[in-house]
Amino acid sequence: MDKATISIADHGAIGNLETVALVDTAGTIDYLCWPCLDSASVFARLLDTETGGYFAAEPDLPGANIVQMYLPETNILLTRWMADAASVDLIDLMPVGNDADDAPSRLVRRLTCTRGSATVRVRCAPRFDYGVVGRKASVTTDGTDVSRGRFDHESGLALALHGAGSLVADGCDLTAEIHLAEGDTVSLILSNPDDVSLDTDALDAIVERDIAYWRSWSRTSRYRGRWRETVERSAMALKLLTSRKHGSIAAAATFGLPEAPGGVRNWDYRATWIRDSSFTVYALIRLGYQEEAVGFLHWAMDRAQACSKGHLGVMYALDGGEIADERKLDLRGFGGAAPIVVGNEAKDQTQHDIYGALLDATYLGSKYGEAIAHDSWVAIGRIVDQVCDTWATPDSGIWEVRGPKKHYLHSRLMSWVAIDRAVRLAQKRSLPAPLVRWSETRTAIHDDIWAQFWDDDLGRFVRAIGDAPEDKAVDGALLMMPLVRFIGATDPKWLATLKAIGEDLSDDGQVYRYRIDDGLPGQEGTFVACSFWYVECLARAGRLDEARLNFEKLLAHANHVGLFAEEIAQDGSFLGNFPQGFSHLALISAAFYLDRALDSDGPREWA
């Protein structure tokens, strides 16, 4: 395989609920931040084929057919080479362990020759701190069948080779040439230098325990519909983005992957967006994963309680701290898309929609998870009061436009959601609240949306207040209107808006989030989450055949192991960071509703 032309889609993801590694279809790990998802990268060949760093383990089997899959119901990846002379399996995992396990983070790679004999060539070439070459690598032996290597860098990493073969220091890299006969198994373990020694039995136990962990988690799912494997893979992807230590949920596993080919839209998504994570809670609750949903809500309420005036940040670091300011890296970028930045300046934007997402998640969490705590309700009260004070002011909107603030319909809509869910929660749980003020403000926002964003001349809703063509356009965020129950899914005025979205934003069922000039160069792809929202809106409108066809077409665009990035380019390739939580949660929601509609006498508008 030509390493210079590998695509985003040619990867599976593995992780340990602390960080995520991407393994390409040739068995090379070319993306990993260590030890945490938001730490600096040690492998980033995906963003720079020369200086990014990688970890290759590839059999010398020219012309071999290569397949890649997950072990059933796990996040453990199997890459298999099959040739006339031999076949070799590579299992990649990052063991999760258990809550009481204080073992260090490990990346485990197990090679087994299942037929014939083969030589496997290994090169571990970490580039620390986003592409910095280490000073040197060294190798030690202890008279056993374990060869150990170490990379001399303050970040610290060690590599151990268990079984036939030995490591060789090659400058700042470690290499090995391993000869395998049928039945032979060797293991490569990347971990911290102080990791304990492991024998074969211990390694076998680690792998079996990890398989058991993932299968136990996967089988918790309540989904039994038509697309069970697809939905469960999406849930597994969301789980990979969840921090077991903190309860936060990352928007995606990566930074810097372009939203437009060769352009400047290369953002860092290794953070917890209040909006994205709250929608993820909705998907997890539907599937029965209350523990993850409650864990995030606890994390979010900690952030809310720390805000004396109820003003939450748009995003936070996974540990709840501040996101760093953007800084450019000396990486060439995927396909030459540069500059690559880490940190995210959108953290300083005003986005009114985040409160609606959070309150919707809180409402669902209280309904299906655990009752809301007193201190959390006090914090929510401050948030809702703040929404009552600011809903009529402009903001940067859901798409984080880096330009002048505007009055966006979606921001108004989600402000309405924030207050509506707070009122419902207070009434259902008999919680103290200024219900008169909240209810009156909810009505005011409702009336304002109809007065300011419904355009009689166009016969549909528009995206923003203003007379400019871009204000009069539709965008994908409008698809949330029936999904959050602001308007009936079969209301004629909504159907007119849905028709306009289909005509203006849809490309054979794939939906762009907008088609206006946003001030940045380059053409984005279709937005996967919007495309699945469109499916759900079609289903809720009673257009079930069209919804199902569009849904199946979208599923065909998943990669070989069922994962999605943020966007899909016109040629069908992936764009944006990967795997993307927003994409997978929208898939789950669409599958869940479409199943119910197909199994009933028709769509249930408020289901």
CA dihedral 157, 163, 165, 170 (to 10 degrees): 0
Comparing CA positions, the residue from 13, 115, 125, 103 lying closest to residue 59 is: 115
For the stretch 508-535, pLDDT in tens is 999 999 998 887 888 899 999 999 999 9
Residue 354: its pLDDT value, please?
95
Average pLDDT, the chain: 92
Q: For domain 225-599, give the CATH number.
A: 1.50.10.10
Residue 72: its pLDDT value, please?
96
Residue 99 in this model has a pLDDT that exceeds 60: no
Residue 554: its pLDDT value, please?
98
Q: Coil, helix or strand for 5?
A: helix
Span 9-31, mean pLDDT? 97
Tokens of 196: 């304990």
Residue 2: its pLDDT value, please?
43
pLDDT tier, 282 (very low <50, low <70, confident <90, very high otherwise): confident
For the stretch 404-458, pLDDT in tens is 899 999 999 999 999 999 999 999 999 999 999 999 999 999 999 999 999 999 9
Q: Which residue has the higher pLDDT, 143 or 505?
A: 505
CATH class of 3-208: mainly beta
Q: How many CB atoms lie within 10 A of CB 486?
A: 19
Residue 398: its pLDDT value, please?
94
**Is the four-CA dihedral 186, 191, 197, 202 of positive or negative sign?**
negative
Residue 370: its pLDDT value, please?
85
Comparing CA positions, the residue from 424, 551, 427 lying closest to residue 485 is: 424
- Integer Cα distance of 178 and 124 in angstroms: 14
Residue 406: its pLDDT value, please?
95
Residue 103 in this model has a pLDDT that exceeds 90: no
CATH 2.70.98.10 intervals, the chain: 3-208
In 428-438, which positions are buried (b, 16+ CB within 10 angstroms) versus exposed (e)? eeebebeeeeb
Percent of the chain with pLDDT over 70: 96
Residue 602: its pLDDT value, please?
61
- Integer Cα distance of 57 and 36 in angstroms: 23
Residue 607: its pLDDT value, please?
44
Q: Which residue has the higher pLDDT, 447 or 371?
A: 447
Residue 240: its pLDDT value, please?
97
**Is the four-CA dihedral 211, 74, 298, 19 of positive or negative sign?**
positive
For the stretch 475-507, pLDDT in tens is 999 999 999 999 999 999 999 999 999 999 999
For residue 104, is the peptide bond before it cis, meaning its omega torsion is within 30 degrees of 0?
no
Span 369-397, mean pLDDT? 94
- Integer Cα distance of 44 and 23 in angstroms: 11
Residue 165: its pLDDT value, please?
79
CATH 1.50.10.10 intervals, the chain: 225-599
pLDDT tier, 43 (very low <50, low <70, confident <90, very high otherwise): very high
Residue 606: its pLDDT value, please?
41
Residue 5 in this model has a pLDDT that exceeds 70: no
DSSP string, 416-479: HHHHHHHHHHHHHHT----HHHHHHHHHHHHHHHHHHHEETTTTEE-SBSSSSHHHHS--GGGG
Sequence-ordered list of residues with C-beta below 8 angstroms from that of 204, at least 6 positions apart, any chain? none
Residue 193: its pLDDT value, please?
83
pLDDT tier, 56 (very low <50, low <70, confident <90, very high otherwise): very high
Residue 439: its pLDDT value, please?
98
Lowest mean pLDDT among 78-92, 272-286, 520-534: 272-286
For the stretch 188-199, pLDDT in tens is 999 988 887 788
For the stretch 59-72, pLDDT in tens is 999 999 999 999 99
Lowest mean pLDDT among 36-40, 99-103, 170-174: 99-103
Q: How many CB atoms lie within 10 A of CB 242?
A: 25
Cross-strand pairs, 55? 29, 124
